[in-house]
């Protein structure tokens, strides 16, 4: 061997050369190709599902806003026609009547919670959390979510990208990396490695980097496509790109966490079969067993609020107020004598104005403590979930990504808060007119408050998701430290073998 050949032989293999070899091995093995194809197939279905769901939400919002504008404009135009004497008012549809036009269901307007770009990646509560809440002066904002979704579908939940990453990605890591080093041990060529100047860390890192890219690149493509195309081209692509980049960075962290676990087990010197069993056990614990136990625990210590008890309370309050309707009406007009109707009301208007409106105002005030209790119970449950989520990386990832996407029930409460605010605005604008039954004019239509379009800011969502995100980051760092220690031990073992 001349000097040049000796130099070449003793030169440690470069990172990229090692990675290229691993990539070739993956392509040459049918299992590797099959796994990547399966992964891409799952991502495609999940991205398609997320995109469809998000587009459907955007379509619902657009349809509700269009219908609202048309309805408002049509009634205003009819009012002008009636005032000009060119048309007769229809029964129960007189645009001049406050009870017909701004008080009842016809006066409801859409308060909207814009889906975040990441909603295409996390299905969340599905149609139980609609993006539009019709809100009027007497709308009950404490009602249940209306839904016609097939309960069998709702029970299983969607195959969204958050599920594919949180539950299935670790399995693909397991399948690709369970023998990242153990394959040499099982093939009894372990001592050969000791004779090479290439460090174990470099070999493992290069191989894991290839696995990482094989899993992460298709995921990135799916996530970007789903978020970018979910708005139907209505918005700029910058925001979806930034948000999905953040989500992908977090997914990368989660992927690295499982890869580090696989690497550490490989450094411990067990056989590939033992590594596979241990990794499968870790997956089973993280995905099924721990979330089940946490769920059971949370249900015991902080069960969801008893809605039936709440319903009884609501009906009790409403019955009591109904019996005191005359007293409430008199009190209302005593406090607002200028709003007393100057004309005699028909049966319909008399009931809505004299009985219902003061009663609705009183009911809102009387039910406020019960609603606050309900919110407190839900918040307590959320605290327990957050507190226990660190027990399973899968659970932590799932909760954090849902919060980041703004699809948890607690975050949806923002829509109700804004709807309440809008209801107060409507009452401030038209309350006196309804109580006095002074006919509406075109100018009254023009001063209608605009229903809000609510958006959950990224900073707020990040704050919500921060505990889960930092938990995953901390676990990854700890595993990284363990990785360094384990590879040092493996080197020593290799040197003495």
Partner 1 sequence: MLWTIARHELQQIRRDGRLRAVSWLGLALLAALALLGWQTYRREAHERAHFEAAAREQWENQGDKHPHRAAHFGFYLTKPELPLTLFDSGIKPATGRVLWLEAHQRSVFAYSPVEDSGATGILGVTNGAEVLQLLGALLVILAAYGSVAREREEGTLRLLLAQGVSPGRWFAGKCLGLGLGLALVGSPIALGLGLLCWRADPAGFGADTALRGLGLLAGHGIYFAVWLVGTVAVSAWARTSRGALALLLGVWVAGGIIAPRLASTLASLLAPLPSLTEFGQAQVDDFNKGFDGEPGYAARLAQLEKDTLARYNVKTLAELPVGFSGIRMQMMDEFSGRISDRHQARLEAIYVRQNRWHWVTALLGPYVPMRALSSSLAGMDWAHYQHFAEVAEQYRRGVVKSMDQLLERELHGDKWEISMGREVWAQVPAFSYTMPSFRWAFHTAVVPLALVTAWLALAGLVAWIGARRISP
- Answer for which of 12, 93, 157, 197 binds partner 1 (CB under 8 A) is 157
Tokens 């070899």 label which residue? Answer: 21
Residue among 19 and 416 whose Cβ is closer to partner 1: 416
Distance between CA 496 and CA 51 in Å, rounded?
55
- Burial per residue of 172-203, b for 16 or more beta-carbon CB atoms within 10 angstroms, e otherwise: bbbbbbbbbbbebbeeeebeebeeeebebbbb
The reply on whether position 306 binds partner 1 by CB under 8 A is: yes
Distance in Å, CB of 1 to partner 1, minimum = 40
The reply on whether position 376 binds partner 1 by CB under 8 A is: no
The phi and psi torsions of 6 (rounded to 5 degrees) equal -65, -45
Task: Tell me which residues in 400-429 interact with partner 1 (CB under 8 A).
Answer: 402, 407-410
DSSP 452: P
The reply on whether position 444 binds partner 1 by CB under 8 A is: no
> CB–CB of 421/496 below 8 Å?
no
CA angle 53, 57, 60 (to 5 degrees): 135
> CB–CB of 223/243 below 8 Å?
no
Residue 415 exposed, middle or buried by CB count within 10 Å (0-12, 13-18, 19+): buried
The reply on whether position 179 binds partner 1 by CB under 8 A is: no
Q: How many residues bind partner 1 (CB under 8 A)?
A: 92
The reply on whether position 301 binds partner 1 by CB under 8 A is: no
Q: How far apart are the first and last CA of the chain?
A: 27
Distance in Å, CB of 430 to partner 1, minimum = 23
By CB under 8 A, which span of 17-25, 58-66, 93-101, 359-367 interacts with partner 1? 58-66
The reply on whether position 370 binds partner 1 by CB under 8 A is: no
The reply on whether position 280 binds partner 1 by CB under 8 A is: yes
Binding mask 105-134 for partner 1 (x = CB under 8 A): -----------------xxxx-xx-x-x--
The reply on whether position 64 binds partner 1 by CB under 8 A is: yes
Task: Tell me which residues in 344-363 interact with partner 1 (CB under 8 A).
Answer: 347-348, 351
Task: Tell me which residues in 12-51 interact with partner 1 (CB under 8 A).
Answer: 42, 45-46, 48-49
- Answer for which of 311, 466, 474, 478 binds partner 1 (CB under 8 A) is 311
Distance in Å, CB of 96 to partner 1, minimum = 21
- Answer for which of 8, 322, 477, 488 binds partner 1 (CB under 8 A) is 322
Residue among 197 and 304 whose Cβ is closer to partner 1: 304
Distance between CA 116 and CA 458 in Å, rounded?
9
> Starting at the edge strand that comes first in sequence, how are the strands of the sheet with 132-135 ordered?
132-135, 109-113, 453-454
The reply on whether position 201 binds partner 1 by CB under 8 A is: no
Distance between CA 389 and CA 236 in Å, rounded?
35
Residue among 86 and 308 whose Cβ is closer to partner 1: 308
> CB–CB of 22/206 below 8 Å?
yes
């Amino acid at each position: 061997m001349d000097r040049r050949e000796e130099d070449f032989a003793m030169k440690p293999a470069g990172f990229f050369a090692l990675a290229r070899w691993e990539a070739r091995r993956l392509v040459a093995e049918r299992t590797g190709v099959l796994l990547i194809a399966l992964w891409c197939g799952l991502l495609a279905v999940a991205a398609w599902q997320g995109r469809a769901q998000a587009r459907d939400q955007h379509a619902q919002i657009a349809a509700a806003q269009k219908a609202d504008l048309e309805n408002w404009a049509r009634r205003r135009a009819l009012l002008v026609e009636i005032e000009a004497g060119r048309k007769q008012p229809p029964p129960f549809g007189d645009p001049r009547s406050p009870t017909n036009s701004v008080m009842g269901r016809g006066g409801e307007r859409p308060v909207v919670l814009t889906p975040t770009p990441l909603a295409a990646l996390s299905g969340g509560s599905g149609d139980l959390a609609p993006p539009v809440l019709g809100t009027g002066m007497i709308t009950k904002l404490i009602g249940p979510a209306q839904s016609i979704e097939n309960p069998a579908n709702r029970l299983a939940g969607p195959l969204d990208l958050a599920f594919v990453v949180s539950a299935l990605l670790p399995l693909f890591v397991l399948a690709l990396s369970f023998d990242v080093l153990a394959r040499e041990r099982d093939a009894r060529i372990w001592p050969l490695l000791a004779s090479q100047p290439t460090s174990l860390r470099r070999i493992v890192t290069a191989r894991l980097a290839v696995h990482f890219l094989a899993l992460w690149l298709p995921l990135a493509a799916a996530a970007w496509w789903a978020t970018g195309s979910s708005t139907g081209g209505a918005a700029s692509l910058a925001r979806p790109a930034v948000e999905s980049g953040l989500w992908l960075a977090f997914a990368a962290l989660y992927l690295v966490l499982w890869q580090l676990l696989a690497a550490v087990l490989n450094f411990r010197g067990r056989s590939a079969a033992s590594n596979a069993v241990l990794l499968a056990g870790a997956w089973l614990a993280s995905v099924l067993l721990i979330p089940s136990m946490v769920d059971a625990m949370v249900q015991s210590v902080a069960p969801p609020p008893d809605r039936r008890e709440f319903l009884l309370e609501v009906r009790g309050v409403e019955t009591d107020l109904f019996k005191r309707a005359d007293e409430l009406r008199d009190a209302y007009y005593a406090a607002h004598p200028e709003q007393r109707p100057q004309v005699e009301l028909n049966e319909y208007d008399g009931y809505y104005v004299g009985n219902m409106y003061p009663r609705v105002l009183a009911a809102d005030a009387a039910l406020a403590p019960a609603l606050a209790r309900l919110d407190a119970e839900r918040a307590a449950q959320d605290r327990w979930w957050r507190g226990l989520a660190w027990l399973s990386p899968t659970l932590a990832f799932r909760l954090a990504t849902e919060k980041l996407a703004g699809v948890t029930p607690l975050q949806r409460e923002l829509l109700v808060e804004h709807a309440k605010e809008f209801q107060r605005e409507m009452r401030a604008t038209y309350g006196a007119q309804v109580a006095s039954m002074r006919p509406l004019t075109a100018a009254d239509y023009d001063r209608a408050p605009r229903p809000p379009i609510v958006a959950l800011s990224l900073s707020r969502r990040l704050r919500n998701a921060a505990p889960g995100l930092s938990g995953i980051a901390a676990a990854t760092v700890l595993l990284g430290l363990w990785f360094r220690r384990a590879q040092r031990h493996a080197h020593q073992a290799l040197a003495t073998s």
